[in-house]
Structure 1
Amino acid sequence: MSADMPIPLCSMDELKAGAFADLAQAFDDTALARTLAQATRACETEVGRRLAPFIGLTESHRLDGVDPDEYGASTNLPLDLAGSLGRSRGLSLSTGGDLVRHLWLHQSAPHYPDLWSYTNVQVTLTRSYGGSQVLGIDQFDGPEPDTGHLWFRLGTWAPLGSFARVVYSGGYHTVPADLERACKYMAAAILCRELAPLGGGQQHDASELEQQAVAWLSPYMRAD
């Protein structure tokens, strides 16, 4: 079984510096790297969202809801090259109904979207009556870092009830300073608990460190 080793939110040098140097010196670099990976995942679990850079995350969505304030497929919007015929885009695609235009990815930046990036976004649509399609990059805009909003361009054949599978990479390419601090406290709490059975007498309180980590993470917690 392969180990889960995300890119840590806190560097090993940062963990070794300052007040927690006494904790770090009791462990070799391999153990510290593993602890930082565990602390990173603990931070993500606490807030209910991905924070560290990730690769190839898969999400599934059922497409529903058509915004009444914008053009759907059956609003008789003329075709670009055949507007004089009075045909709608929906009729030209033979969908028989409205097309969904929006999708929101689960993972986005709750703060500092300028430090977040998406890469390698792939969207596959499977329609309820059969048939599937891999969308080209010219068929959607986004996702937007601050909301995860992915916007299907007008004419994309995405009827209500279609199934969308999105595979993408993302995360903070630059770690916000407060997330680094939270991860440092979380790692220190883990190290405290590792050392406690070996004789006690530690100057750091693991529970207090964890509470401080959670306090630093609270602005990033998912509200929905």
Structure 2
Amino acid sequence: MATDNPSPLASVAGFTEGPFANLVSGFSTQATTNLMLQATRACESACDRRLAPFIAVVETQRADAMDIEDAMDAYVPLDPTSQLGFSRAQSLGSTLLTRHFWVREHPPRYPELWTGSIASISLYRSYSGQQAVAVNTVQYETDTGHVRFQLGTFVPPGTTIQVTYSGGYSTVPADLVQACQYMAASMAVKQLDPVDGRSGHDPDALRADALEMLAPYTRR
């Protein structure tokens, strides 16, 4: 099971010092904290991405065939580990091995502000059992989410790849902070004043502003 310690895109202090402070003047500190977390999740749902820092998220995916640009790798001299992997594949009647996969979460913008790390990778093959892959043998590119297996790792097409990893914006871009504040303000107005609009804020307009700022982060 994933262990997730949620962290808001916008802080309580930043929200209560800004133009929306009056909206939560009657909220307890815990209620305001919950509001910022709810707004963060609403932003992530709108983008179909994890943006705030997350810990130990588990993903599974099915391995596809080897990319064509790596096809020639099979014909270059191999180190002993790689040669063993290929020999094992040949003994089982398979010479086509997967070398790439992509984790789902990676930075849509500002990759220099994103941190990510892989904790574990497990392979569940349709034949020949399962295997834990040493994470120090894989190439992980945090900006694209690309992971490359070491040449010769026995990953036949159809293998289930289970990866546990962490990531997110360690420094949140300013536009995401503002989008989260707009989203939180929209939610607060709806909670406090859902009918007659005496708060002076339009919740739908605030949400629209948030979505406009989130547009560059939305998964395509």
Q: TM-score, normalised by structure 2?
A: 0.89
Kept after mapping to 2: 8 A contact 1:66/1:72: no
1:90 matched to 2:98: no
Pick from 106, 118, 132 the counterpart of residue 108 of structure 1.
Answer: 106
Match of 1:217 in 2: 214
Distance 1:197 1:76, change over 3 A: closer
Alpha-carbon distance between aligned partners in 2 of 1:174 and 1:122, rounded to the nearest angstrom:
25
- AA at the equivalent of 1:42: A
Q: Provide the rounded CA distance (Å) in 2 between the counterparts of 1:6 and 1:182.
A: 17
Structure 1: segments with no counterpart, 5+ residues? 82-86
Preserved CA contact (<8 Å) 2:100 2:147: yes
In terms of mean alpha carbon deviation, does 101-110 or 18-27 score higher?
18-27
Deviation at 1:198, TM superposition (A): 8.6
CA distance in 2, matches of 1:68, 1:46: 35
| C-alpha RMSD of matched pairs (Å) | 2.2
Say whether the 8 Å CA contact 1:123–1:135 is kept in structure 2.
Answer: yes
1:58 pairs with 2:47: no
Aligned CA distance change for structure 1 residues 109 and 205 (closer, same or farther; 3 Å):
same
Q: Is the 8 A contact 1:77 1:89 kept in 2?
A: no
Task: Please state if 1:136 is matched with 2:143.
Answer: no
Structure 1: how far apart are the matches of 2:79 and 2:23?
A: 67
User: CA–CA distance in 2 between the matches of 1:88 and 1:127?
Assistant: 17
Measured in 2, the distance between the counterparts of 1:170 and 1:138 equals 17
Residue of structure 2 aligned with 1:179, choices 169, 176, 180: 176
Structure 1 position 101, deviation (Å):
0.5
- For the pair 1:157 / 2:154, whether they are aligned, the reply is yes
Q: Secondary structure at the match of 1:125?
A: strand
Q: Secondary structure at the match of 2:36?
A: helix
C-alpha contact (below 8 Å) 1:123/1:164 kept by paired residues? yes
1:39-54 to structure 2, matched below 5 A, reads: 39-54=39-54
Percent sequence identity over aligned pairs: 41
Structure-1 separation of matches of 2:206 and 2:5: 23
How many residue pairs match? The answer is 214
Over 6 Å off, 4+ runs? none
Shift of 1:195: 1.1
Offset, 1:119: 2.5
Q: TM-score, normalised by structure 1?
A: 0.88
- Does the Cα contact within 8 Å between 1:43 and 1:183 map onto a contact in 2? yes
Q: Aligned in 2, Cα 1:90/1:110: closer, same or farther, shift over 3 Å? A: same
CA distance in 2, matches of 1:64, 1:5: 32
Q: For residues 138 and 119 of structure 1, what CA distance do their matches in structure 2 show?
A: 11
CA contact (8 A) 1:72 1:99 kept: no
Shift of 1:152: 0.5
- Indicate conservation of the 8 Å contact 1:77/1:88, yes or no: no
Mapped partners of 2:72, 2:164: distance in 1:
26
The answer to whether the Cα contact below 8 Å between 2:12 and 2:32 also exists between their aligned partners in 1 is: yes
